[in-house]
C-alpha cells in the first residue's frame, strides 16, 4: 500500500530542496556597489553646486562692472578720474575700481585718433578662499566731434 501512495505523490515532493534568494555575501556586495555609485553621484552633485555658485557670483560682479561703466558714460566725456568703493550684495563684498584715462591709440592712415577716453572697471571678490577679479573696459568718444 505504501508503494502505491509514494507512486501517486507528485515528483516535486521527492525532488531535492533548493533555496531561492540571495546569500548575505551577495547582498553585501550589491550594497557596496550601490554605495560607491552613490558617493560618486554625491560628489558630482557637490561639484555642480559649486560651479553654479561661482557662475552666479561672477555674473553679479559683471553686472556691477557694467553698472559702473554706465554711470561713467552717463556723465559724458569727463576728465580722467579714478574712483573706487565697496558694494555689499547677497552676502558678498564686491570691491570695485573705476579708472577713466586718455586712450592712446595708433595713427591709422595718417589720421590721429584723439579725444577718446578708456573707461576701465575692475571688480574683485572673494570666492571661497581665493580672490577673483573681473575686468571690463570700453572706449568713449568726445560727442563734440
Return the higher-pLDDT residue of 11 and 24.
24
pTM above 0.75, yes or no: no
Kindly report, residue by residue over 26-41, the tens digit of the pLDDT: 999 999 999 999 999 9
Work out the widest C-alpha separation in the chain, in whole angstroms.
Answer: 126
Return the higher-pLDDT residue of 111 and 48.
48
Range of the structural domain that residue 63 is part of: 2-141
Of all residues in the chain, what percent carry a pLDDT higher than 90? 50
**For residue 77, what is its C-alpha cell?**
566725456
Kindly report, residue by residue over 54-67, the tens digit of the pLDDT: 899 999 999 999 99
DSSP letter assigned to residue 111: B
Band of residue 139 on the pLDDT scale cut at 50, 70, 90 = confident
Question: Which of 96, 86, 103 is CA-nearest to residue 121?
Answer: 96
Kindly report, residue by residue over 92-129, the tens digit of the pLDDT: 899 999 999 888 777 777 776 777 889 999 999 988 78
The Cα 73–Cα 140 span in angstroms is: 8
The Cα 46–Cα 42 span in angstroms is: 6
- Strand, helix or coil at 137? strand
pLDDT at 92: 87
pLDDT at 61: 94
Overall domain count for the chain: 1
pLDDT at 14: 60
In degrees, rounded to 5, the angle at the alpha carbon of residue 73 between the alpha carbons of residues 70 and 78 is 145
The Cα 35–Cα 108 span in angstroms is: 66
Q: How many CB atoms lie within 10 A of CB 106?
A: 6
The Cα 102–Cα 116 span in angstroms is: 6
Amino acid at each position: 500500500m505504501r508503494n502505491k501512495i509514494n507512486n501517486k505523490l507528485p515528483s516535486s515532493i521527492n525532488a531535492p530542496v533548493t533555496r531561492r534568494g540571495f546569500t548575505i555575501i551577495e547582498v553585501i556586495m550589491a550594497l557596496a556597489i550601490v554605495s560607491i555609485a552613490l558617493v560618486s553621484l554625491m560628489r558630482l552633485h557637490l561639484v555642480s553646486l559649486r560651479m553654479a555658485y561661482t557662475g552666479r557670483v561672477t555674473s553679479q560682479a559683471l553686472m556691477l562692472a557694467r553698472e559702473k561703466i554706465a554711470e561713467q558714460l552717463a556723465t559724458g566725456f569727463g576728465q580722467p578720474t579714478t574712483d573706487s568703493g565697496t558694494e555689499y550684495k547677497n552676502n558678498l563684498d564686491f570691491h570695485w575700481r573705476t579708472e577713466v584715462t586718455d586712450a592712446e591709440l595708433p595713427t591709422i592712415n595718417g589720421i590721429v585718433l584723439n579725444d577718446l577716453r578708456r573707461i576701465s572697471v575692475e571688480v574683485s571678490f572673494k570666492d571661497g578662499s581665493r580672490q577673483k577679479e573681473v575686468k571690463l573696459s570700453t572706449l568713449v568718444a568726445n560727442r563734440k566731434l
